[in-house]
Structure 1
Amino acid sequence: MELVQVAVETLRDLLIEEVKFLSDVSDQVEEVESDLRTIHCLLKDADARPDGYNSAMVRNRVAELNDVAVRAEIMLEKYAIDVASKGQDDITLKEKFKRYACILRECFNVHQVGKETEAIKSRVAKLASSLKSMSRSTGESSLSNTSANNEDLLRQRYAHEVEQHFVGMEKDIEHLVSLVKLDNDKRSLISICGMGGLGKTTLARKIYHHKDVQASFEARAWVCISQQFRPETVLQEILKQILPKEKESIDNITNPRELVVKLYHVQTQKKCFIVMDDIWERNHWESLMPAFPIAETNSRLLLTTRNENIASQQFILYKLDFLTEDQGWELLRKIALPKVYSSRGPRPDLTQLEAIGRKMVQKCGRLPLAISVIGGILCHKQTWGEWENVSNNMDAYLKHGDGVGGDKRAAQVLDLSYNVLPYYLKPCFLYLGCFKEDEEIDTERLYLLWMAEGLIANEEKGRNETLRDVAQRYLNELALRCMVQVRADDISEEKFSTEYNKFTSCRLHDLMRDLCLSKGEEECFIEVMDLSRGGKIPSSINSATANNNIIRRLAILGDGEVLEKYILSHDLKLKTPLRSLLISPSDGGTMCTSRITNDFNKIKFLKTLILENCEFENRKLLREVGKLIHLKYLSLFESKVDELPLSICYLPYLQTLDLRVRRRRLTLPNAILNLKRLRHLFLDEAHVKGDVLLILDGLKELETVVGLNSRFVRIVDLPKLPNLQLLDIYVWDYEALSVVVHQMMTQLCETHLRVYFDLLEQGADLVLGILRKMFMSHSLITLVIDSRIGFNFPCYQPEMCPNLVKLELTSSKIEGDVMQVLGNFPRLKYLLLHTNSFIGTEIICHATSFPQLKHLKLWGLPKLKKWKVEGGAMPNLSKLDIYECTKLKMIPDGLRFITTLQELETSFMPRQFNERLRVVDGEAGQDYHKVRHIPSISLHSHDA
């Protein structure tokens, strides 16, 4: 279904969007749209049935539909450009010829478009007819159900099964048993959630059989829900276990309402403990919920699920984590070396095996199921060489079940997680495979890529939602289903979640990435070439191309030198139009990409082009990029570029342009305003050729501007951008600040502001007025003020800085108790006081102040002598940096109560200050008791 969603949505959106250009073929377009709606409904119905897409016939129809979609998309885009270019009367014929010569040579006339549309209509109609016939086929449905039922039997887990090898959950068991036994708790429902293979069922079984639990309940029941959900069967099974003497009568009850009432009544009369293992969908639980008394009984219900979203506020949510490396090695050793592990006598030296064993535990991602599978293979192998061989071939063992006994459990568990995803999430998940292994994927970048690729459909938007909002909702859903790991805050990068951006980054578990790559290749969704240093360079793009399958997306990752060597010695041997190309070295170096344009026809239909950490020999590729008329997303992030060619400013469909290039001040042509569909613009130290101001007026669809500089932009254009939501800007004068603050108060959803000028040059009253206005804006998220001359910080007012998460003050020479003001900012997570920003002698962090602060930097405050932290202040502080505060005598006593503190670093501090924090020759310094709970302490003296 992953290809279906992209194909159908792409076709429908394009046909609707461009129909105004197709007046002569509009009837044909409407017929195609009608057939597409039929196909979409049929395939959504098939997607709702288990195993609905395992049919080779269905997969072939899906592949054909995708091919039609690409063909139609290319045709419509080219024709729309042709019509638009013919309608431009405001330029001379000579200018028009120069701009569109390369486009007009390729465009269809109306007759050709009509002909192509008729062919597409015919193919879509045949597909709709074929799928209708297939949906009526009872044989296909019967085969599908048989396959699904067999899979269910393989996945069933029963209460009486004994877990032979068990490690790492002792604390989980202790905690959950205490929750289960607890009487009179309004939340009588407990949900254990986590990705497949973490051991949720194993843990639930331990709880179910725990002697304290058995003694606490009059009756118990265990039922496995599975994807093949039948509510009456589930209810009957629970009742028969709770009321064993009434089994026959319960079998005769077929009305679900009667079963619900009976089970509800039993739990009010008997104290019952019920486990529902492996529940998949929220609506499954909602259909069962009326059968369970909530807050009316001492009965308890325990669920296991991969879908965190099932757990509502009614549940106590218990998220299961991966094993530690030590726990993983213990589990592997128990399974792989049972005789050695059970031996009561002296054990042989396991040093060599342990080293390679721990390496395999990490390769398994510390996932218990994967470790168990590998352990089962190793139990027949006892030498280091045999273990090394298994380590080298782990991918095959985990994906395909190769090896002793053909254990396919890991592949089955992970495959199922993918198979049960809703149709609209599958392509979004598969797209994650194009990022590097272990990469922290920036969520904003991911959302824009999903949108450019057509993976986010307009029809999915709710009221007042943007496509970006839908993308964020999709990522949240993938996280709730334990398919992707999300991060809200990143202390090391100082990125923090906001009201606008719920997550800052996400990543894939190693085994989930393997699943991504294998499914992406299997479905011909994406081809990923990962070329690492020392690895074998393939002779061509691999399996999918070799088997004459369609490659639409290609990601080339790996070491820069290996990538360059490959691209210099090979062509892109593609049999079909490539729509997405990503080239990204993984080592931070740059690579030359000139070879890629030797045959430009191979990439002329690209929608997405990402060239990161690249160099452009003779700037040939950059000149050629202007010919890619279908481009929606272009990124030159961290590439070596000094000047942008004019042709890039005439890409009619471009939505996202990322020009945050490496170490150079980029020169732009003053023609960005011609990118009429541009929605997201990313700059860094960019200026316009000829030192004139960058014009943004006319970019009516622009939503995001990052890295704008008031020195190089016509600032009066900002109010002329009706859809602008996010602005990141460097401000160098009072007039620019006034315009930005006005937009903050009237239009913007998110503002990242850097103020670099002498605030007092306009007069104290004006400065105080603009600051008060700025601080009351709900859109202000990050703020840097480097004023060089001191100013009076505004007094605190209710609702001040309600969403500010990051604040840096530099050289501002603020006096008074500024911390009392800052401590009231409710969402502040990062604070830097730098280079005389505070010139007082004492800082007091009052009780309940800084409720969300995670990272505090005191840097270059030469007059600071005392610092007091009251109990309850900074309850979430994780990292503390103290640099060059040379008169500060000691660390505050209140730090010892901040249990969340993980890192303390000092630099250029007096030796005496640091000595009070050290343990020397077993003797603790005077202040060591204040910091002994901090895991990472790094102390550096200025006179060391």
Structure 2
Amino acid sequence: MAETVVPLVSNRLATLLREEGSLLGGLRQEVQFIKDELGQMRAFLKVAEPKEDDDPRLQEWIKQVCEAAYDIEDVLDEFVLRFAGHRHHGFCGSLQRILKAIKSLPARHQVASEIQSIKSRIKNISELRRRYQDEFGIDHRVAGSSTMNDSRRYSRDDALLVEEAKLVGIDQPKQHLISKLLEGHDHQLKVISVVGMAGLGKTTLVKKVHEDPKVRKNFPVRAWVTVSQTCDFPKLLRDLIRQLNKSVPQSIESMTTAELKKIVKDILRRVGRYAIVFDDVWDVEFWNEIKFALPEGNYGNRVMLTTRNADVASASCTESQDYVYKMEPLSIEDSWTLFCNKIFKGNHCPAHLMDVAKAVLDKCDGLPLAIVAIGGLLASKDVSRIDEWEKIQHSLGGELEGTGKLERVKRILSLSYNDLPSHLKPCLLYLSIYPEDYLIGCYRLINLWIAERFVEWREGMNIEDVAWGYLGELINRSLIQVTGVFYEGLPNHCRIHDLMREVILIKSREQNMVTVTTGQPMTWPSKEKVRRLAIHSSSNSSNIQYHQQRQFYCFEHLRSFIAVSSTNPFLSKTFLSEVLRSSKLLKVLELGGEEIEETPNEIFNLLHLTYLNLCGTKVERVPRAIGKLQHLEYLNLGYSGVRELPVEILKLQKLRYLIVFQPVDPLDSNYGFHGFKGPSKLGGLLALQMLNTIDASSGSVIVKEIGKLTQLRVLYITQLRREDGKELCSSLVNLTSLQELSVDSVGKGDDREIIDLNHHQHSLSSSTSCSFLQSLCVLMMRGRLETMPVWITHLQNLVRLDLIWSGLRAEEDPLESLQHLPNLGVISFCGSYQGERLCFKAGGFLKLKQLWLRRMEGLRWMTIEEGACPNLRKLVLAQLPSLEDLPSGIQHLSHLQELGLYEMSSGMIENVENQGEESENYRRMAHIPEIVIGFYTDDGGWRICRLWGKQKKTFLA
């Protein structure tokens, strides 16, 4: 964290010296000294932070640096709050400056005193830095070199910890990988990468494959090379040479890397068919180095890699025959078997321990390393003492911080954190704001990172794209798990493994990054400076116990106040008002979903506020005082009662995200959303990148203003009138960065007014003259279409298309114009077509993965030709009363994973449910792993029936 805070503060000091130097007066030299010393510390931190786990003194020093940097930031913000931004000109301006200076003498004295105090602290910290630099032999001038701590050697020692018990669930992936190794008669080198998070058993699996008799028989020359983070490449090559050739000359000890590579290559050319494992590969550079030592040969040679990093896996598997195997956690059944094998030696779990055993196992979340380690801990406990087991269950976080087997689990999981570049570490630690098993919204997360200033500006890149890149890298490193996608390539929700979360919590507490409380007295921390406060709801808390604890808590340093997963009147108005009143430097205020009926007035005195989320609250109006928050960049009032914004919103010139909407029907998003009525000069908000959702019912003036928002990437517009379609086309031509567009016309359901966006004179039909078409990825249109707009066929980057209530006539087959769009991955039609037949033609929709067809009463036949939709994974048919049979050609959808049938005709359900194994219908759908049938019962209940293969399960939804 210090490695992130220090450069941030250092850059702010540089800006202060450059832009506000005249206000500093005699303090300029002190500020320059602090900036220079922070620069020295920044270089030292790069090599000191990886060593902190092994030396408490370094850990304490880094904490001091971090706290000093935070305190400097406080002083800077106080300084800006009091003095900056008050420029005056002319004679009257001079008088005002004199008067203001006289009035602020006490404030200036306080700031000067604080800067002098920090300068003294910085001197002491710098002296310690010089001492440690000499003592540890750290040269910060070579801080970029790879200096790892000894704890990373635990990696391979503990990787096979799972072999202490027989690993279950390994036979199927083992046989799968063996078949991949042995398949094919090509003569090219084939690479197989096994990727997944720490502790999944990647090394164990590959070792079983490598030692299998069939593999040994087919590959007489084999080698196993452990790479790890502390890779000494020449030493690794010498080890490989010794495994491949028993007689090795002494001269290899003095050979260069290039000479060693040549020897490896020569040996492998001579020996014939080989299989080599490179275990625990951490970066792409290793593969880029080692691949030049591996000859293609004519024997079908094989290489296997294990890695935590998806980038490594993809970089090594670039040829058509190469293969990436993503290792998944154990199933619930296999987890239970492994757990019982370790603790009860294969016997059954005693009934009185069943509940606590399952609770502990839930924490492991299918991670074999954790199951075996925690199982080993529980195996030493008396099975007749349920209290001992419960103690372990409730103290797993503490056990990870102790010694023994769980300490080893922590070290292995910590390796992935320690390997992160400095800019990603705070992003990962920030996830400690979320409760266990929380489904994290990716859009909101990246905007919180941006608001916290974790995301660095990069030349020529939008900061949101940089933030998405950060998230993608954490996903690729197997530290964050994607649980849902908005469209191909863009994660919508994610989560973290429970035990990885425990590791993150430990490190977050060590660095005083986030303070988490449930509001109960026992969860309040000891007296400390709280920078970020995350409040979680608890089952027995109805109100935060604040007043009796206030003497232990300091809010004046608070930068972020985040309420998460609160479903009750959790934050009392008194508590919230007190926090906001005393947190004048607050930058992030996250109150989404809280029981708040009006915007607290104290918010409008938070002049540093950059992020304000009141989504899902009961707020119905926005006061004119919103104009005071001139640093605000993110404002979310979605799912609130707000329907209009005051003209003062135009003062927020830094606003990038403006989100204000509420659903027309909370139970069905197909009916669209109410937007907000904004001021007529909305085009003045030039920094806007997301506008969701603007009400266009006031006419062409607001539609024309949209054309001035040239930075827009996301635009949702509702209540569009037919006569304003021409003006909207003119505006859209200016939005060259637009990626998502949603247009709702005036009206309700299938009685909506026509969306008229087919204006040829406005160049939307030409792919060459309409540059916005080059960026559009998502298009949603809710309203009638006379014809399919011609320009849609030019959307080369379109990934998702929703057409709702468009009611296209039979002669306007929507598939004809869409089938050759090269990137279209998701289609959702609802009331979109009046014809009787839909035909997906061979060679069409090559990238389509999800298809939703709903509420098309006239549809009677559906055909899928062989070669159409070859990558379709999910097909949902809903409320299609005239469709009596499964789509003709459904057997051609070889990759289909799920077929959903909701409120379909009785004939359709009969054709799916009651078919013998010899029937034609059964054969047509036998390849589909999961079929879901949903229907309303006679008593008005909703039932779901799931079919897996020959099994059928029905339950009340």
**TM-score bin (small chain):** 0.7 to 0.9
Shift of 1:806: 2.7
Identity of counterpart residues, as a percentage? 25
Asked if structure 2 preserves the Cα contact closer than 8 Å seen for 1:264 and 1:293, the reply is yes
Contact map agreement 1:156 1:224 (CA 8 A) in 2: no
> Where does 1:243-322 land on structure 2 (aligned, <5 Å)?
243-246=245-248, 249=250, 252-271=253-272, 272-294=274-296, 298-315=300-317, 316-322=323-329
Equivalent residue in structure 1 for 2:232, among 230, 233, 241:
230
Q: Which amino acid aligns with 2:530?
A: I
Task: Give the one of 745, 752, 758 matched to 1:756.
Answer: 745
Report the CA distance shift for 1:27/1:731 in structure 2 as closer, same or farther (over 3 A): farther
Q: Flag the 1:107–1:263 CA change in 2: closer, same or farther, 3 A.
A: farther
Q: TM-score, normalised by structure 1?
A: 0.85
Match of 2:553 in 1: 574
Shift of 1:671: 0.7
Q: Distance in 2 between matches of 1:596 and 1:765?
A: 51
Q: Which moved more, 1:843-852 or 1:399-408?
A: 399-408
Instruction: Tell which deviates more after alignment, 819-828 or 590-599.
Output: 590-599
| 1:571-720 superposed matches below 5 A | 571=550, 573-575=552-554, 577-587=557-567, 592-598=572-578, 600-616=580-596, 619=598, 622-662=600-640, 664-684=641-661, 693-711=679-697, 714-720=702-708
The answer as to whether partners of 1:850 and 1:873 remain within 8 angstroms in 2 is yes
2:557 match: secondary structure: coil
SS class of match (1:913): helix
Can you list the C-alpha shifts for 1:298-344, whole angstroms capped at 9, x where unaligned? 54332222222223443343221111111112212222222x55xxx
Which string of whole-angstrom CA distances, capped at 9 and with x for unpartnered residues, describes residues 227-250 of structure 1? 33222221222222222232x626
Output the CA distance in 1 between the equivalents of 2:147 and 2:753.
78
Query: What residue in structure 2 maps to residue 361 of structure 1?
Result: 361
Q: Give distance in 1, aligned partners of 2:159 and 2:62.
A: 38
> Does the C-alpha gap of structure 1 residues 6 and 599 become closer, same or farther in structure 2, counting only changes over 3 Å?
closer
**Does the Cα contact within 8 Å between 1:377 and 1:403 map onto a contact in 2?**
no
Q: How does 1:458-537 map to 2 (within 5 A)?
A: 458=457, 461=458, 463-487=459-483, 489-490=484-485, 495-497=486-488, 502-530=490-518, 537=520
Alpha-carbon spacing, 1:739–1:352, altered in 2? closer, same or farther (3 Å): farther
Instruction: Tell me the secondary structure at the aligned position of residue 521 of structure 2.
Output: coil
Alpha-carbon distance change, 43 to 683 in structure 1, aligned in 2, over 3 angstroms: same
Closer, same or farther in 2 for the Cα pair 1:252/1:779, shift >3 Å? Answer: closer
What letter matches 1:268 in structure 2?
Answer: R
Structure 1, 212-221 or 667-676: larger mean CA deviation: 212-221
Partner of 1:344: none
SS in 1 for 2:774: coil
Aligned residues: 899
Q: Distance in 2 between matches of 1:296 and 1:925?
A: 48
Aligned match for 1:828, one of 806, 824, 840 = 824
What does residue range 321-332 of structure 1 map to in structure 2 within 5 Å? 321-332=328-339
Structure 1 unmatched ranges of 5 or more: 342-347, 532-536
Match in the other structure for 2:851: 856
After TM superposition, the structure 1 stretch with the greater mean CA deviation from structure 2, 863-872 or 218-227, is: 218-227
Instruction: Decide whether aligned partners of structure 1 residues 649 and 150 sit closer, same or farther in structure 2, where only a CA change above 3 A counts.
Output: closer
User: Alpha-carbon deviation of 1:901?
Assistant: 3.7
Match of 1:374 in 2: 374
Distance 2:860 2:386 in 1: 60
- The CA deviation at 1:480 is 1.7
TM-superposed CA distance for 1:21, in Å, is: 2.6
Partner-residue secondary structure (3-state), 2:562: strand
- Does the 8 Å CA contact 1:190/1:318 hold for their aligned counterparts? yes
SS in 2 for 1:614: coil
**Structure 1 residues 660 and 264, CA, compared in 2 at 3 Å: closer, same or farther?**
same
1:877 maps onto 2:865 in alignment: no
CA distances 1:832-876 after superposition (whole Å, capped 9, x unpaired)? 3333x3122221121233333344333332222222221233334
Residues 764 and 938 of structure 1: CA distance in aligned 2, closer, same or farther (over 3 Å) = closer
Structure 1 equivalent of residue 950 of structure 2: none
Do 2:195 and 2:307's aligned partners in 1 also have CA atoms closer than 8 Å?
A: yes
Moved more, 81-90 or 211-220: 81-90
Q: Could you tell me which amino acid in structure 2 is paired with residue 68 of structure 1? A: A
> Matched residue of 2:682: which SS?
coil
CA distance in 1 between partners of 2:850 and 2:674 (Å): 37
Rate the CA distance shift 1:18–1:485 in 2: closer, same or farther, 3 A: farther
* In structure 2, distance between residues paired with 1:877 and 1:45: 49
Greater shift in the superposed pair: 32-41 or 283-292: 283-292
SS at match of 2:779: strand
Checking the alignment, whether the CA contact within 8 Å between 1:11 and 1:73 is kept in structure 2 is no
Whole-angstrom distance in 2 between the partners of 1:923 and 1:249? 68
Distance 1:870 1:928, change over 3 A: same
SS state of the match for residue 543, structure 2?
A: helix
Q: Which moved more, 1:447-456 or 1:569-578?
A: 569-578
In 1, the alpha carbon distance for the partners of 2:562 and 2:63 equals 23
- The structure-2 alpha-carbon separation of the partners of 1:159 and 1:642, relative to structure 1 and needing over 3 Å to count, comes to closer
Q: Is 2:162–2:368's contact at 8 Å kept on the other side of the alignment?
A: no
Residue number in structure 2 paired with 1:345: none
Which letter maps to 1:756?
S
Once residues 220 and 904 of structure 1 are traced to their aligned partners in structure 2, the CA distance between those partners, rounded to angstroms, is: 45
Range with bigger deviation, 676-685 or 568-577: 568-577
Question: Would the aligned equivalents of 2:68 and 2:118 in 1 still touch at CA under 8 Å?
Answer: yes
Q: Give the direction of change, closer, same or farther, for the CA distance of 1:52–1:691 in structure 2 (3 Å limit).
A: closer
In structure 2, the CA distance between the partners of 1:722 and 1:569, relative to structure 1 (3 Å rule), is: farther
TM-score (norm 2): 0.84
* Residue-by-residue CA offset, 1:695-740 (whole Å, 9 max, x unaligned): 3344333332222222368333333335333323225135654454
How far did 1:389 drift?
4.2
Instruction: Give the drift of 1:552.
Output: 1.0
Deviation, 1:526, is: 0.8
- How far apart are 1:19 and its partner, in Å? 3.4
Structure 1 residues 648 and 796: alpha-carbon distance in aligned structure 2, compared to 1, 3 A threshold? closer
- Residue 197 of structure 1 and its aligned partner are, at CA, apart by 0.7
Contact 2:252/2:260 (<8 A) preserved: no
Q: Which amino acid aligns with 1:372?
A: V
- 8 Å CA contact retained: 2:164, 2:372: no
Instruction: Report the CA distance between 1:483 and its aligned residue.
Output: 1.0
CA gap 1:17/1:154 in 2 versus in 1, 3 angstroms: same
Partner of 1:19: 18
What displacement does 1:104 show?
13
Quote the residue 1:43 is aligned against. Answer: 45
Contact residue 901 and residue 934 of structure 2 kept, 8 A: yes
Task: State the Cα distance separating 1:635 from its structure 2 match.
Answer: 0.8
> Is the 8 Å Cα contact of residues 42 and 132 (structure 1) preserved in structure 2?
no
Residue of 124, 133, 136 corresponding to 1:135: 133
Q: Secondary structure at the match of 1:626?
A: helix
1:862 partner SS: coil
Measured in 2, the distance between the counterparts of 1:80 and 1:603 equals 15
Give distance in 2, aligned partners of 1:192 and 1:263: 24
2:491 match: secondary structure: coil
8 Å CA contact 2:799, 2:824 repeated in 1: yes
Against the structure 1 CA distance between its residues 731 and 624, is the aligned structure 2 distance closer, same or farther, given a 3 Å change threshold? same
The answer on whether the counterparts of 1:398 and 1:411 sit within 8 Å (CA) in structure 2 is no
Which deviations, in whole Å up to 9, do the C-alpha atoms of 1:71-122 show, x marking residues without a partner?
33333334435555533789x99xx9xxxx9999999866765665555455
CA positional deviation for 1:801? 5.5
Is 1:77 the counterpart of 2:77? The answer is yes
User: SS of the residue aligned with 1:657?
Assistant: strand
For residue 524 of structure 2, what is the aligned residue in structure 1?
541
Distance in 1 between residues matched to 2:902 and 2:369, nearest whole Å: 45
What corresponds to 1:66 in structure 2? Answer: 66
- Taking a change above 3 Å as real, the CA distance of residues 737 and 152 of structure 1, as seen in their structure-2 partners, is same
